[in-house]
Structure 1
Amino acid sequence: MQHARPQGAAPRGVPRPARSRHGRVTAVSMMKDEGPYLLEWVAHHLAVGFTDLLVYTNDCTDGTDEMLIRLEALGLAHHRRNVIPKGIKPQPSAIRHAQEEPLVAESDWVLVLDADEFVCIRYADGTLDPMLDAVVAAGAGGIVMTWRIFGSAGRHEWSRDFVTEQYLRAAPMDWNKGWGVKTLFRHDPERWKLGIHRPKMRNKVLDTDYPASVHWLNGSGLPMEEYFKFRGWRSIQRTVGYDWVQVNHYAVKSIDAYAIRKLRGNVNAKKDKYNADYWALQDRNETQDMTMLRYGAARRAIFEGLLRDPVLGELHRGAVGRIEARLAELRRSAGYAALVAELSQASRLPIAEAVATPPKARDPERIAALMSRVRERGAARPPAPRGPEGPPSYRCASPQEGMDARLAGTGHPTPPLTWHHNHGVALPADPARFTPPALAQIAQGKFERNIARNFPKLVPAGGTYLELAPASGLVASLLALGRPGPDAADEADAAVAAGPAHIGLCGIEPGMRDYLEMLWSKNALPSPRWPVIHEMPPGGQGPVDALRAALGACPAPSLLVLGAPALCPDALGQVLGDAAPAAVALAGPLWEGCASRQARFEQVFAATGLRRRLPIDPALAAVYDRGIRGGQKT
């Protein structure tokens, strides 16, 4: 029998929960004292397109439960009491209750969410139905959404403004400590048990053909690996994806909001969860992500409609008033100033030094046995290929306005940077520019060691160096400083020390000029020795025009480094002509994503005599020369 939806009179202007062509799409949550934030959470997820919102509450003192009871009477949500058995924590208790809930059993799709988690869809118009259309079309029964950790945005004071509009600064997409997940999946209560991060298959189906039929996608619409059916609560490098969807995780908010939560306790009943270490981990503000603003008008309209209900309006204002009164009392306490100072200091922790508590160990032998049985049945797919280009690079801009923008010009203080010497050049551990593996190399002083050792040797004394779309500025800085890199020993190293005649950079991305000037100033490079930044010609656009103009000023460079990912091999061939370099390198983002174009690039190079590939680390670059240097065949 279909579980009846409450049919109260919703406030004027507030739409009924969506009707989905995919059936009943339910978000299950558990809350305690979330009154000031509840209506925004409800309004947002109604705007996203959930047909049902089911919330369990326990021990509320601010009216959260009363607000949900009213929302249920209006037909806008469902409320249940989280009766917690002795020895069980609140969150797993709520999940146990939800497992037996008829509404959940009758749901076609289910997602378990916390009160500080908001679904944010980039796919299509940002609502669930188009994304689920694509999931189903791919033959999948679920999509695994990775967290995006949002920090305090430097805010101290409490504010009544929307969480989703106050906090627009986040950890970089490739910060793996923030890769927890939530899974929206096609539910069958006979086969699945709910879980915090992903559902778990019931024991009775593990030794059947069913596990082999389960296919999920990641947040970029690519196939998840088979292991995730049985274990895991987070993405890994091979499975992370943000192109379609993410879960915005607002774990800390402002210092004032965090102080209130520290006193209130948490739904997991974890002892002293809200300490400075947790703040330092979660207060990540290295990049800006404004994707959530796409829901602004719809979310605001629903929220204001909810406030027009006299009961909800009074309950919401009461919850806000209570938290503001509690905050005023807290500010007069002896410990408040100390807490503010402690959290402010914790905010200065560089992202490379943030430490996450490791998860509880799983039973690897049991998981391996389960996967082995699936493979033995002959139905399990091999690990899905990621395509010839490898995993997507999140250093590239998203089509969504403001996605992953650098912090320059945002009006907020940039998080402090630590600097580390790498091959004679100080580099910043900047997570907005470098990936986590690169940050680790920078901290160890080993960033792109093979490039630092070999690229400068390809530029003789009096030679020229030109780089299209530089990513780090390392080689240009080495050359400008007259430093040959690690292990200097031979005549080529001495030539580097003598200095090139010209060091040029072109195709500079927005924000890169400021970064380079910061880099050169930090390394005390005299202004007359700064590399030349070749400007884009009037009317020019794209890497080809940038390179053509630079080659006009610096023809036939000793080494040409190509890093622009959009560079087309055929267009490059037309530009090179008589300006062909003595050596050319595919590096940076271009090399990371040019597997399908490499053969064509090599044909273009060969046409200008660049036929020999040098023994440079293939993980970093591919370098080609003419096989003759200084008049001698090498």
Structure 2
Amino acid sequence: MNITALTCVKNEGPFLLEWIAYNRVIGVTDFMIYHNDCTDGTDRLLEKLQEHGIVETMVNPAKGRNYQMEALKKSRRRASIKKADWVWVADVDEFLNIHVGDHTIPALIEACGNPQCISVTFQFFASCGIEKYEDKPVIEQFLYSHNPDIWTHETAIEVKSLVRSDFPMTYFGAHRPFHDGKNLPRRKQPTWTDGSGQPVMIQFIKMVNKRRIRKYPSKGVRNFATLNHYAVRSLDSYLVKNDRGDVNREFREFDDTYWRERNDAAYFDDSILRYKDKLAAEMDRLKALDGIGALHDECVALHKAKLEELMAQDTYQAMRKQLQTCSPYPPNEAELRELIGMPA
């Protein structure tokens, strides 16, 4: 079974080998990785991995600023996508945690009844009070998340999708595939399940509600798989991540909402550690390839250097202090706690 992971990256160098190794462990056979405007060695590491036949990579073909969507729409022309039986669309901070069989993608597909699409629900993992960046596997460091069924005040949570080659697709979306048959009756719609093997709601397939195009209620949808999302990682890496974007923060107050929403450490979940030993062995195999270990180390060094550069700026010093001292509760929960007289 050919399974291709499809993603777009910018300055993900220190985290790239872990993500590739992890996906190889769970059954991914090929990778199509677009990159743009990298300053931390990500592009050089990808090119060397391509030389070794591990990935297919290219500069993002986007003409505008919507890098991800433009690349995903054009990706179907690429060799690794054309030959794939399944395509897994995910970001480098997202890890598919499979709870059935031998914990691989083929086992998930079998458990779900081999549908044309499987959409797996996010679970956002917090920074867990870790401030310093370390060159250690992300999945081992961050083991606390929000209540899996409730994120901030939402009971509907976003998904990412595994798409079979015969899905009647118009184009890949970042969260789900899109198709022209949304007005067809249910019996003519593609077979599509959640992470428990249950058919997703017809309203989701037909995109009836624009607010629910990429999410649906999360209760009972993770029996076979969860999508562990490490959106904040350590405080150090989060500061570097903020610099990666093109928002000029110098002339406006920093908003800590994104951090607070994804830094809810209410729930302990270490189930992904089932992959720990196999991940370590696969990372060692990749680092042993000519030039790969050295390029990974270069990415790590540049990540640390960027942090030092940012911390020399007053704006980033203020940002760090704000994140260190802000409420540990998501904004909506903090408001509720304040309303009933509890510390927010």
Taking structure 1 as the reference length, what is the TM-score of the superposition?
0.49
Tell me how large the CA RMSD over aligned residues is. 2.7
Deviation string for 1:106-136 (max 9, x for gaps)?
A: 3221121112111111112211111111223
Q: Please point out which of 257, 267, 274 is paired with 1:287.
A: 267
Superposed displacement of residue 419, structure 1: 7.6
The equivalent residue for 1:163 is: 138
AA aligned to 1:236 is: P
SS at match of 1:114: coil
**Could you say if the C-alpha distance between residues 303 and 213 of structure 1 is closer, same or farther in structure 2, counting changes exceeding 3 Å?**
same
- Conservation of the 8 A alpha-carbon contact between 1:179 and 1:240: no
Superposed displacement of residue 213, structure 1: 4.2
Q: Please point out which of 296, 308, 332 is paired with 1:328.
A: 308
The equivalent residue for 1:147 is: 122
AA aligned to 2:90 is: L
Structure 1 residues 340-379: aligned runs within 5 Å: 340-350=320-330, 352-353=332-333
2:114 maps to 1:107: no
The equivalent residue for 2:69 is: 92
Structure 1 residues 282-321: aligned runs within 5 Å: 282-321=262-301
- Conservation of the 8 A alpha-carbon contact between 1:145 and 1:219: yes
Superposed displacement of residue 342, structure 1: 0.7
In structure 1, distance between residues paired with 2:183 and 2:339? 53
In structure 2, distance between residues paired with 1:216 and 1:116? 24
2:218 maps to 1:277: no
The equivalent residue for 1:233 is: 214
Superposed displacement of residue 288, structure 1: 1.0
Q: Please point out which of 254, 261, 272 is paired with 2:234.
A: 254
Structure 1 residues 47-86: aligned runs within 5 Å: 47-86=25-64
2:106 maps to 1:129: yes
**Could you say if the C-alpha distance between residues 419 and 328 of structure 1 is closer, same or farther in structure 2, counting changes exceeding 3 Å?**
closer
Superposed displacement of residue 333, structure 1: 3.1
- Conservation of the 8 A alpha-carbon contact between 2:182 and 2:206: no
2:172 maps to 1:194: yes
- Conservation of the 8 A alpha-carbon contact between 1:27 and 1:53: yes
In structure 2, distance between residues paired with 1:200 and 1:308? 40
2:203 maps to 1:223: no
SS at match of 1:297: helix
Greater Rg, structure 1 or structure 2? 1
- Conservation of the 8 A alpha-carbon contact between 1:218 and 1:240: no
2:96 maps to 1:116: no
How many residues get paired?
Answer: 333
The equivalent residue for 1:594 is: none
In structure 2, distance between residues paired with 1:134 and 1:322? 42
In structure 2, distance between residues paired with 1:317 and 1:34? 13
- Conservation of the 8 A alpha-carbon contact between 1:143 and 1:219: yes
- Conservation of the 8 A alpha-carbon contact between 1:28 and 1:110: yes
- Conservation of the 8 A alpha-carbon contact between 1:180 and 1:233: yes
- Conservation of the 8 A alpha-carbon contact between 1:144 and 1:181: yes
Deviation string for 1:135-161 (max 9, x for gaps)?
A: 236xx2221100000111011111111
In structure 2, distance between residues paired with 1:128 and 1:331? 41
AA aligned to 1:112 is: V
Superposed displacement of residue 321, structure 1: 0.9
- Conservation of the 8 A alpha-carbon contact between 2:183 and 2:206: no
- Comparing 127-136 with 311-320, which one deviates more in the overlay? 127-136
- Conservation of the 8 A alpha-carbon contact between 1:105 and 1:189: no
Structure 1 residues 503-514: aligned runs within 5 Å: none
- Conservation of the 8 A alpha-carbon contact between 1:36 and 1:316: yes
**Could you say if the C-alpha distance between residues 92 and 354 of structure 1 is closer, same or farther in structure 2, counting changes exceeding 3 Å?**
farther
Taking structure 2 as the reference length, what is the TM-score of the superposition?
0.88
- Comparing 272-281 with 96-105, which one deviates more in the overlay? 272-281
SS at match of 2:163: strand
Give the unaligned 5+ runs of structure 2: 208-212
- Conservation of the 8 A alpha-carbon contact between 1:82 and 1:97: no
In structure 1, distance between residues paired with 2:6 and 2:306? 29
The equivalent residue for 1:338 is: 318
SS at match of 1:310: coil
SS at match of 2:203: helix
Superposed displacement of residue 89, structure 1: 1.2
Structure 1 residues 457-536: aligned runs within 5 Å: none
2:163 maps to 1:182: no
**Could you say if the C-alpha distance between residues 91 and 274 of structure 1 is closer, same or farther in structure 2, counting changes exceeding 3 Å?**
farther
